[in-house]
Amino acid sequence: MNNDWEDLLELIVAIWVFVSPVVLGYFDVPVVAGTAMLLGALLSFSSQLGLAVPRPWEEWTSFGIGAALAASPWIMGYADLAVPRWNAVVAGVVIIVLASIALERDYDTAYHARA
């Protein structure tokens, strides 16, 4: 393992986001379930790429997906449903934080390598 614990945690969150409609009981709301499953699948793909071939663009991709996830209740119109709203916001913020930590680490590594 090449010290990419952030990508491993992103993958765990991605799996949670993907299965959360079933676990939390809102699978019968198509827009909510579809959004969670789509963003969970995209995030899973992005985090697996980060584990296999770590690159800064992968972290930026995860950051963007995390932002989309956090904003999805308002963009997709399900902000009035508390459980899926909080699930999306918390998971999205966690992904944003993890991607930011990885980007910070990668920037520091690249900066110190040049110095």
The whole domain housing 39 covers 5-114
pTM over 0.95: no
pLDDT in tens, the chain (115 residues): 456 788 899 999 999 999 999 999 999 999 999 999 999 999 999 999 888 887 888 889 999 999 999 999 999 999 999 999 999 999 999 999 999 998 888 765 555 555 5
The reported pLDDT for the residue numbered 108 is 57
How many domains are there within the chain?
A: 1
The reported pLDDT for the residue numbered 1 is 41
Note whether 93 and 70 are within 8 A (CB).
Answer: yes
Q: For the purposes of burial, counting CB atoms within 10 Å of the CB of 78, is it exposed (0-12), middle (13-18) or buried (19 or more)?
A: middle
Which residue type does 63 have?
A: F
